[in-house]
Amino acid sequence: MKVIVNGVATEYADDGTGPVILMLHGWKDSLHSFDPLIPVLTQAYRVVRLDMPGFGGTEMPPKNWVLGDYVDFVGGFISKLKLDVHTLAGHSFGGRVAIKGVADGMFTPAKLVLIASAGVAERNTLRNKSLKVLAKVGKLATLPLPKSVKNKLRNRLYKNIQSDYTNAGTLKDTFVNVISENLSGAAKEVTVPALLIWGSADTETTLEEGVRLGGLIKNSRLELIQAAGHFVHREHPDTVARLIGDFAV
């Protein structure tokens, strides 16, 4: 289904009836990331999913966005569909949006589910070190060097950085804006009950980050799924759906 949100043609899906669970996908993903959960969750809930701008069937952002722009967009989507969101669920990047939106009061769900959510990594982690590398990459553009030399230097700088920057295409600047914002302060402002779901083998947002996030959100519970990776909801959909369904009651 399509709807115009803040001037952006937006793809979304709306299944089931009952209290609303709104689900926000991760970076380079789409609303279909949650498809395996739908058969279980729609037995008791109305599950709404949308493609974020720049992903899936939704148009690109009209400019380089910061995290707050995605929060405003999701807020516009909620208003457009007149959703009374009972449970807000976000995976990875979608969790970033959820944390900031709840902390800022833009979203007012009764409950919050964060699946391998990003945004509170310690500053000495590889992900945060990558920001310094990306800053150096940006400075290359101002150097009086041949383009071929700049490209070689750029590739060398981020060769070993574990991020989605190199594959972000026209969203590269938006990606840098998003991951540059540390949400540790925002997480402390979250007061609604929160369920954190993590895979023990997640190398994208590590278990260490999950434990840290749980310590920042006062009313939270961390559920660990052994041997699961970053896309824990795809690897163990029945388990994750049951956890969300039981928590959302």
Helices 126-140/172-180 angle, 10° precision: 140
Question: How many structural domains is the chain composed of?
Answer: 2
Domain that includes residue 135, residue range:
126-172
Number of H helices, E strands in the chain: 10, 8
7 and 106 share one domain:
yes
Please identify, among 136, 151, 172, the residue that sits at the C-terminal boundary of a domain: 172
pLDDT given for residue 242 in this prediction: 98
Mean pLDDT of the chain: 89
131 and 78 share one domain:
no
* pLDDT tens for the chain, residues 1 to 249: 999 999 999 999 999 999 999 999 999 999 999 999 999 999 999 999 999 999 999 999 999 999 999 999 999 999 999 999 999 999 999 999 999 999 999 999 999 999 999 999 875 444 545 544 554 545 545 566 677 776 666 565 555 444 555 565 689 899 989 998 999 999 999 999 999 999 999 999 999 999 999 999 999 999 999 999 999 999 999 999 999 999 999
In a domain, 55, yes or no: yes
Please state, in angstroms and rounded to a whole number, the distance separating the CA atoms of residues 51 and 17.
20
117 and 140 share one domain:
no
- SS3 for 10? strand
Domain containing residue 13: CATH number: 3.40.50.1820
In a domain, 32, yes or no: yes
What is the pTM (predicted TM-score) of this model?
A: 0.85
28 and 133 share one domain:
no
